[in-house]
């Protein structure tokens, strides 16, 4: 985050350039110097990012390299070419880049070659005098949401390779998506897990470490679902003609099932319009859904809306196990895909991005027993309006200390987020919970909502996708209804109006 704030704050310094190199950089003509060159390019179209900015960052994230008090930086020319010169020094470095004057706030900060954090960036050494070429940065533009009829794209129960084993990953193709896809929205379910406890992660291409951020948490003998929005590496980086998603299982073995409900693309789609969380359904005031029952829920969306973002909670379920499907009203195939898994004695929540069906309605179906359902609307996807989605390499927010409401710092130096987001996309994991309870989360800019975002239970780690309305990207306040729960937050992306403010 500091990287983005730096270039946005120092445009006047960057104006003083010569031959594409900042004036401060040229002060190191004598002695051992390193020149770093490369091109800034749009990762989808291949077009040069002219007048974009590039600067050199310490590979451990501790600061920025330069010839003294100034940062080593450069402005790209019309072909996207940049060149930065700085003194030799111990250690490794990476190049960072962002959109320039015409594109300020359009591209988020990227690191070479297409990473959104330093941990996944391409490294180089500054120890010896030389010219380092080919330090290109491909900047992925923001994407707009395109809804799809829920479609099963992963089912290892029908895969000859079988379940995912311990500490193993597997890549799955996502056919039929356009080349400008930047992220996919999946409902992922882990089933038939053998480990007492484990987690499943989305693997970032280029990652140099074993995944530690969870997309969902699994328990032996229990089906667990969560919504996952996964970053897609562009074809210019991956070399593939179709998008793929790679999933990792930490312990034991587990089968995975994933249903595609939409994707983000740069060329067309709908933007997110956030709202104060509004309760659209609470069957506790009427009757629960019976086994096999489908109930239609009119939502009264705004004009142009193509999908709703809702938090769905199952409570007071009577079956030992069941699943709940949430799908567009009128879709005959919707009940075959699960949104969350319901269990007797537990409250279970999940975020769902649901394409709108007949007359702007969605439908809910319960498979076994009876269950009450609570639905809260947290946003709309509207064509021609709203905020675009910027996926990032998932990063864990700084963990707060102490008791009481926890204030998470979202914008630590290695999480690149716009200063003016409309919403943050998070995965919230509760652990070491002492009593069954709800979890509430909100940005301090807004009043605390009357609705919850997740449910925690003793004896289990529970992961839940959360869409957090935001305005400053500085923090998230989290509290539980009773008892104690250790809460962890992983940031997977954010929504912002492209070019609305400098990123």
Q: Report strand pairing: 33-42 vs 130-132.
A: parallel
- Taking the C-alpha atoms of residue 417 and residue 396, their distance in angstroms, rounded to an integer, is 13
Query: What SS3 state is found at 360?
Result: helix
Q: What pLDDT is stored for residue 174 in this prediction? A: 92
- The full set of domain ranges for the chain reads 2-139, 142-268, 270-383, 387-449+459-503
Any idea which fold 270-383 has? Jelly Rolls (2.60.120)
Residues 6+ apart with CB under 8 A from 254: 163, 164, 190, 191, 192, 193, 194, 195, 198, 200, 218
The answer to whether the CB of 230 falls within 8 A of the CB of 181 is no
Contact between 439 and 472 under an 8 Å Cβ cutoff? The reply is: no
Query: % helix / strand / coil in the chain, to the nearest 5?
Result: 5, 50, 45
Q: Running along the chain, 503 residues long, what does each successive block of 10 average in pLDDT? A: 39 32 38 93 92 87 61 88 90 86 70 85 91 94 92 93 94 92 95 93 72 86 92 86 90 95 94 95 97 96 96 96 93 83 93 92 96 97 95 80 64 64 92 92 88 92 92 78 89 85 42
Domain 2-139: which CATH number of 2.60.40.1120, 3.30.70.260, 3.40.50.300, 1.10.1380.10: 2.60.40.1120
- CATH topology for 387-449+459-503 is Jelly Rolls (2.60.120)
Give the integer Cα–Cα distance in Å for 418 and 390: 9
Q: What is the pLDDT of residue 211?
A: 76
Per CATH, 2-139 and 270-383 having the same topology is answered: no
CATH class of the domain at 142-268 = mainly beta
CB atoms within 10 A of CB 359: 12
- What per-residue confidence (pLDDT) applies to 208? 59
DSSP state, 313? E
Q: Using an 8 Å Cβ cutoff, are 141 and 234 in contact?
A: no
Q: Are 94 and 110 in contact (CB under 8 A)?
A: no
Q: Specify the pLDDT at position 2.
A: 41
User: Is the CB of residue 393 less than 8 Å from the CB of residue 494?
Assistant: no
For the CA atoms of 468, 469, 470, 475, what is the dihedral angle to 10 degrees? Answer: -30
């Amino acid at each position: 985050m500091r990287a983005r704030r730096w270039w946005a704050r120092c445009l006047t310094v960057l104006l003083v350039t010569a031959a594409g190199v900042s004036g401060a950089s040229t002060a190191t003509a004598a002695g051992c110097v390193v020149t770093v060159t490369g091109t800034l390019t749009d990762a989808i179209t291949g077009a040069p990012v002219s007048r974009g900015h590039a600067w050199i960052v310490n590979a451990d994230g501790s600061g920025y390299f330069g010839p003294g008090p100034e940062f080593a930086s450069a402005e790209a020319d019309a072909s996207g070419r940049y060149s930065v010169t700085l003194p030799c020094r111990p250690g490794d470095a990476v190049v960072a880049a962002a959109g320039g004057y015409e594109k300020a706030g359009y591209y988020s900060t990227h690191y070479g070659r297409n990473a959104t954090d330093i941990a996944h960036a391409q490294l180089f050494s500054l120890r010896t005098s030389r010219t380092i070429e080919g330090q290109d940065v491909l900047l992925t533009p923001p994407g707009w949401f395109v809804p799809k009829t829920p479609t099963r794209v992963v089912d290892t129960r029908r895969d000859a390779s079988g379940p995912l084993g311990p500490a193993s990953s597997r890549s799955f193709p996502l056919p039929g998506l356009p080349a400008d896809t930047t992220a996919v929205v999946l409902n992922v379910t882990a089933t038939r897990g053998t480990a007492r406890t484990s987690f499943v992660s989305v693997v970032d291409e280029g990652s140099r470490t074993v995944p530690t951020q969870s997309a969902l948490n699994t328990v032996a003998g229990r089906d667990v679902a969560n919504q996952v929005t996964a970053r897609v590496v562009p074809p210019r980086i991956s070399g593939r003609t179709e998008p793929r998603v790679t999933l990792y299982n930490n312990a034991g073995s587990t089968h995975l099932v994933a249903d595609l409900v939409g994707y983000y693309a740069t060329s067309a789609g709908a933007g997110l319009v956030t709202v104060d969380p509004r309760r659209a359904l609470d069957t506790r005031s009427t009757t629960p859904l019976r086994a096999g029952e489908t109930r239609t829920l009119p939502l009264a969306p705004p004009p142009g809306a193509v999908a709703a973002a809702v938090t769905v909670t199952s409570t007071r379920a009577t079956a030992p196990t069941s699943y709940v499907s949430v799908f567009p009203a009128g879709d005959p195939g919707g009940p075959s895909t699960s949104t969350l898994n319901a269990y007797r004695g537990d409250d279970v929540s999940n975020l769902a991005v649901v394409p709108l069906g007949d007359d702007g309605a969605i439908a809910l179906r319960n498979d076994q027993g009876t269950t009450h359902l609570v639905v809260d609307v947290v946003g709309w996807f509207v064509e021609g309006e709203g905020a675009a989605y910027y996926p990032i390499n998932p990063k864990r927010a700084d963990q707060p200390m102490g008791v009481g409401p926890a204030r998470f710092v979202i914008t630590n130096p290695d999480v690149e987020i716009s200063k003016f987001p409309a919403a943050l996309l998070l995965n919230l994991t509760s652990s070491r919970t002492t009593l069954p309870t709800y979890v509430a989360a909100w940005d301090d800019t807004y009043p605390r909502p009357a609705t919850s975002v997740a449910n925690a239970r003793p004896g289990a780690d529970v992961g839940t996708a959360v869409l957090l309305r935001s305005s400053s990207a500085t923090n998230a306040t989290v509290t539980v209804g009773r008892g104690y729960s250790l809460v962890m937050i992983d940031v997977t992306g954010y929504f912002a109006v492209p070019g609305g403010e400098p990123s």
